[in-house]
């Protein structure tokens, strides 16, 4: 136990070392940060591997995996940045904080303003890069990994909230688009009927309408004159 305590107190810092004794009484060394470990003994100033002395030597690959995980994490972070940059249409990128104004009439008096947000790792997602250098590793301890997991969970919440906002705006735009499409179809149908109509038939209908209007005017005039005549009789 004294040796275990000595190892824990001596090998600290960025590359801590742990020593344990298993149920078979064997002394095991491991890197506390999960990285690969090489143990050598110094024999009169000449480094000698302990692998042969112990009869067996197992090198942990957990550290190698953590190095790869750090690299993969940073690569995925870069992919998120590129995805946000690629979400641009005609110079407007809602994922980079741009403003999109959707107009619903020719006079541009009716519109919907959709405000974009900066959904990048350096923006609202707040996903920092993982240190991946010798002596400086972001995934050195399990607690460090948990910190990044918490950051990713928070970023997921931001994405879901903004997705709901964009979805509501999209619903409004789609409703207005459906209304506009229906109006266009109605106008096109009316224009088509006017185009294929018989001009003689339409002219006759117009003349009949004018005649009815003239008859109505004449009838009202005659009625008014008759009324005046009756009044004169009583006068």
pLDDT tens, position by position, 6-41:
655 555 555 566 667 777 777 676 665 555 556 555
Do residues 131 and 86 both lie within one domain? yes
Separation of alpha carbons 148 and 163, rounded Å = 22
The pLDDT confidence band at residue 234, using thresholds 50, 70 and 90, is very low
Residues 53 and 106 in one domain: no
pLDDT per residue over 56-90, tens digit each? Answer: 445 444 555 778 888 899 999 999 999 888 888 88
One domain for residues 73 and 168 = yes
Write out pLDDT tens, residues 98-147.
998 888 877 778 888 989 899 999 999 999 998 877 666 778 777 888 99
- Find the domain containing 42 and state its range: 2-60
Q: CB 84: neighbour CB atoms within 10 A?
A: 20
Collapsing DSSP states into helix, strand and coil, what is residue 158? helix
DSSP strand E in 58-199: where? 99-103, 111-115, 132-133, 136-137
Domains contained in the chain, number: 3
On whether both 77 and 152 belong to a single domain, the answer is yes
Tell how far CA 12 is from the center of its chain: 42
């Amino acid at each position: 136990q004294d040796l275990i305590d000595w190892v824990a107190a001596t090998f600290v810092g960025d590359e801590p070392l742990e020593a344990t004794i298993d149920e078979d009484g064997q002394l095991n060394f491991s890197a506390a940060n999960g990285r690969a470990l090489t143990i050598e003994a110094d024999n009169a100033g000449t480094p000698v591997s302990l692998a042969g002395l112990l009869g067996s030597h197992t090198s942990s690959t957990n550290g190698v995996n953590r190095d790869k995980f750090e690299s993969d994490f940073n690569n995925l972070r870069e992919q998120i940045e590129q995805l946000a940059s690629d979400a641009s249409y005609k110079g407007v990128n809602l994922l980079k904080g741009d403003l999109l104004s959707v107009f619903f009439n020719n006079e541009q008096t009716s519109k919907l303003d959709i405000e974009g947000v900066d959904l990048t790792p350096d923006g609202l997602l707040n996903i920092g890069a993982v240190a991946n250098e010798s002596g400086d590793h972001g995934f050195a301890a399990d607690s460090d990994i948990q910190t990044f997991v918490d950051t990713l969970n928070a970023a997921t919440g931001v994405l879901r909230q903004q997705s709901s906002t964009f979805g509501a705006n999209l619903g409004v735009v789609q409703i207005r688009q459906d209304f506009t499409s229906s109006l266009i179809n109605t106008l096109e149908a009316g224009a088509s009927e006017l185009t294929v109509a018989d001009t003689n038939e339409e002219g006759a209908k117009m003349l009949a309408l004018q005649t009815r209007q003239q008859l109505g005017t004449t009838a009202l005039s005659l009625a008014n004159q008759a009324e005046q005549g009756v009044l004169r009789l009583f006068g």
